Amino acid sequence: MFNLPDVRDTIEILLETEIKFSKQLHGGDINNTFFIKTDSDDYVVKINSVQHYPGMFEAEKIGLKTLENTNTIRVPKSSFTGQEGGASFLIMEYIPQGRKAPYFWEIFGHQLAQLHLNSRETFGFSSDNYIGSLKQHNDRFISIQEFYITQRIDPQIRLAKTNGYEFKNSDSFYKELGNLIPHEKPALVHGDLWNGNYLIDPEGKPCLIDPAICYMHRETDIAMMHLFGGFEAHLFESYQEIYPLEKGWQKRLDIWQLYYLLVHLNLFGSSYYSSVLHILNKYA
């Protein structure tokens, strides 16, 4: 895995200043992540392999900028992407960790709802991106059923099959999907909104990181937030004040969680297999 010295010269050229101090931050299995201090500002730098993850940081920069342009919820400003040797990098604004404001969860709920009010005519996005280390396809569709099947569920099922997993009821799930999902306009979603993908900024407000954006059914964000927990009920109550969810949304969460469970199955292995089968069998 590549480290800061592998890209330091290029970063200093782009920033037009020297790096005075650096330290490694937690970055997971995909990236090495560093805090850097210069005479002018502080930044976060994410580094990985061009060969293994082509276009990942360019896609992340587009995602961050798209979210930023909504003026709804804070994200780090992204400055540059670049390459040096076999390494690729993304330079972002460093946001110091704060403490939750008294109405943090209410603010979060309102801002997330306002984000989801941003819409387009089609589901998908102008370019593909990543979910974790896996490619995420974003071809545009008028139909949420077609988009969810062809761009989300089926690619993950096909990948899982190459890893030795079997799925007998996926076709039945596809046929039933149209009867399960309420019609809504496409919403701009974060796309990977688990409790590790938000920060608390110095003002005590939420800040989203590591997006996997597209225009999607907004219940996908809500479903991911419920999958692993870590979000208080006040958030969802406040969300409903701005953009109420369609009746029965709680019963539909597992429809959207299926995608994330398949991703986890393909990334982390068999412990997620039974959960995937349970959802497929439920709607067969």
192 catalytic residue (yes or no):
yes
Write the DSSP string, the chain. Answer: ---GGGTHHHHHHHHTS-EEEEEEE--TTT-EEEEEEESS-EEEEEEEETTTSTTHHHHHHHHHHHHHTTTSSB-PPEEEEEEETTEEEEEEE--------TTHHHHHHHHHHHHHT---SSBB-SS-EEETTEEE----BS-HHHHIIIIIIHHHHHHHHHTT---SSHHHHHHHHHHHSPP---EEE-S---TTSEEE-TTS-EEE-S---EEE-THHHHHHHHHS----HHHHHHHHHHSPPPTTHHHHHHHHHHHHHHHHHHHH-GGGHHHHHHHHHHT-
Instruction: Determine which one of 192, 210, 221, 254 is catalytic.
Output: 192
Q: Which residues are catalytic?
A: 192
